Amino acid sequence: MSYFDAASAAPLHPVARQALQASLDEGWADPARLYREGRRARLLLDAAREAAAEVVGCRADELVFTSSGTRAVHSGISGALAGRRRVGRHLIVSAVEHSSVLHSADAHEADGGTVTQVAVDRTGAVAPQAYGAALRPDTALACLQSANHEVGTEQPVAAVAELCREAGVPLLVDAAQSLAWGPVEGEWSLLAASAHKWGGPSGVGLLVVRKGVRFAVQGPVDERESGRAAGFENLPAIVAAAASLRAVRAEAAQEAVRLRELTERIRARVAESVPDVEVVGDPMRRLPGIVTFSCLYVDGETLLHELDRAGFSVSSGSSCTSSTLTPSHVLRAMGVLSEGNVRVSLPSGTPAEDVDRFLEVLPGAVAGVREKLGAPAPTTTTVRENVLIVDALGKRCPIPVIELAKVIGDVPIGGTVRVLSDDEAARLDIPAWCEMREQEYVGEEPAEKGTAYLVRRVS
C-alpha cells in the first residue's frame, strides 16, 4: 500500500519513535516537581523546547507546547484578539485558511467582532496588496498560512508581514504544512504548527508568541506552559515531536529536491495521460510533495475508492466525498474545478517506483469511473427561444456537468444552455468547465427549484 496523504498526517518518523520510547521511561514524572524524577522530566521538557525553538527561529521562552495544532491556532487567535481589544475587534484572514482559523474567525464574528476575508487567485495565493488594503485602524490581528494544505501553494508571508509591521498589526502564521521544510520568512508575530504534519506523534502542537505582542490568555489560566496551554504536558510526545522536527529539518533540503522532481513528474504525466483534467495550485511557488488535480465527469468518492483498491491512499476536496455535499472551501475560493478532485501528498522517503505505479494506474481508474457514469438517469431537456434547458435537479456531482457536456453541441453557436441544479458543487464546477472548454459562462439566476446556470456556446 502506498500512502500518499502526508498533508493530513505524516507517518511517524523513526527518530520520533526512538525518542518516544526512550522518554516513556525517563519522562513520566511531573516536570513541575522538585524531586529527582521531576527534575529529570523538566530537563527533557526544557531540552525539547530549546530544540523546537531553534528550528522555528524563536526564543525558547516564546514557544509553548499545546495539545494539538488546532488548539495552538485557537489559543493564538483568541489571545491576540483579546490582548489588542482596545485597538479594535477587526480580524483579517485569507479565504483558503485551514478550517481551524476560519472557525476561530466565525466565533469572533459571532461574538461581535468583524472579519475581512481576503480573496485568492486561481493558484490559491493572496496578493500582499490585498492584505494591505484590508488593514484598518481597528485591525487587531491578521492571519495567513505559510502554505496551503490542499493545493500546496506557498503564500507571500514575508511581504504581508512587512505590511502588517508597518501598520502595527501582529500577523499569525499557520505553519503546519511548511515548518518541516524550512523556517517561516518575514517578521511574523505569532506562529502555530502541529507535530503530526512533520512525522511527530499526534496530540502535540506548538504556539509561538513573540516578545512584545500583546496577548491575553482566554479561559481558565493554568500554571503550566506560561499559562498559555492548560493541562499536564504529554512529555514523551513533546520530546518525540521536537526530536523529529529537528531530524526532518536536517533532511529537508535534500529530500525537497527529490520530492519536487516526483511531483513535477505527476503534474506533467497527469495532464498528458488523463483527458479533461485540471492540475491546480501554483506550478512554481509550492511545497514539495503536494499535487492536486481535478477530473471532469468523475465522482470523487468513487475515484478514491478505486485508487484505494489499487493500493494508493489519497485524499480529495470534491463535494462527492463530503457529507455536506459542498466542495472544499479552498477549491471554491480559487474558482477551480472541484469534481473528481485528488490530492497526492508524498511523505518523505516515497520511492519513485510507487509514483510511477500510481501514474500507470490513474488513467485506467479515471476511465473506469467515467464509464460507470456514462449512462446516468435520464434528464429532461427542452428548447425555448434558442435556449436549451437541462433539468439536473436532484442529480449530484458530477452529473450536472456531464449533462451539460452532452448537450452543448445541440445548440447553435451563440445559443444558451440553462442548467437547473440544486447541487452546491455546480456553482463552482460549471464555470470551471466553461473555462476548460472555452465556452462562455453567463452567470446564474434563481429558478423555481434550485438555481439556473447559464452557458453560452461560443465554439
Is residue 260 within 8 Å of 303, Cβ to Cβ? Answer: no
Interacting residues of 280 by C-beta distance below 8 A, sequence separation 6+: 122, 123, 124, 151, 292, 293, 294, 331, 334, 336, 337
Is residue 157 within 8 Å of 146, Cβ to Cβ? Answer: yes
Is residue 97 within 8 Å of 145, Cβ to Cβ? Answer: yes
Distance CA 59, CA 53 (A): 6
3-class SS of residue 286: strand
Average pLDDT estimate for 402-424: 91
For residue 379, what pLDDT is reported? Answer: 47
Q: Using a pLDDT cut of 90, give the percent of the chain over it.
A: 84
Q: Is residue 323 very low, low, confident or very high in pLDDT (cuts 50, 70, 90)?
A: low
Predicted confidence (pLDDT) per residue in 332-344, tens digit: 999 999 989 999 9
Is pLDDT of 271 > 60?
Answer: yes
Q: Is residue 284 very low, low, confident or very high in pLDDT (cuts 50, 70, 90)?
A: very high
For residue 324, what pLDDT is reported? Answer: 59
Listed residue (266, 303, 274) closest to 363, CA to CA: 274
Predicted confidence (pLDDT) per residue in 157-214, tens digit: 999 999 999 999 999 999 999 999 999 999 999 999 999 999 999 999 999 999 999 9
Predicted confidence (pLDDT) per residue in 9-37, tens digit: 999 999 999 999 999 988 899 998 999 99
Distance CA 281, CA 292 (A): 7
CA dist list (Å): 234 to 14, 242, 251: 19, 12, 26
Mean pLDDT of the residues in the chain? 93
Q: What are phi and psi of 182, to 5 degrees?
A: 165, 165
For residue 374, what pLDDT is reported? Answer: 74
For residue 321, what pLDDT is reported? Answer: 56
Interacting residues of 144 by C-beta distance below 8 A, sequence separation 6+: 93, 94, 97, 126, 131, 155, 157, 160, 171, 172, 173, 174
> Is residue 320 annotated as part of the catalytic site, yes or no?
yes
Listed residue (175, 174, 178) closest to 287, CA to CA: 178
Among the options 143, 164, 295, 320, which is catalytic? 320
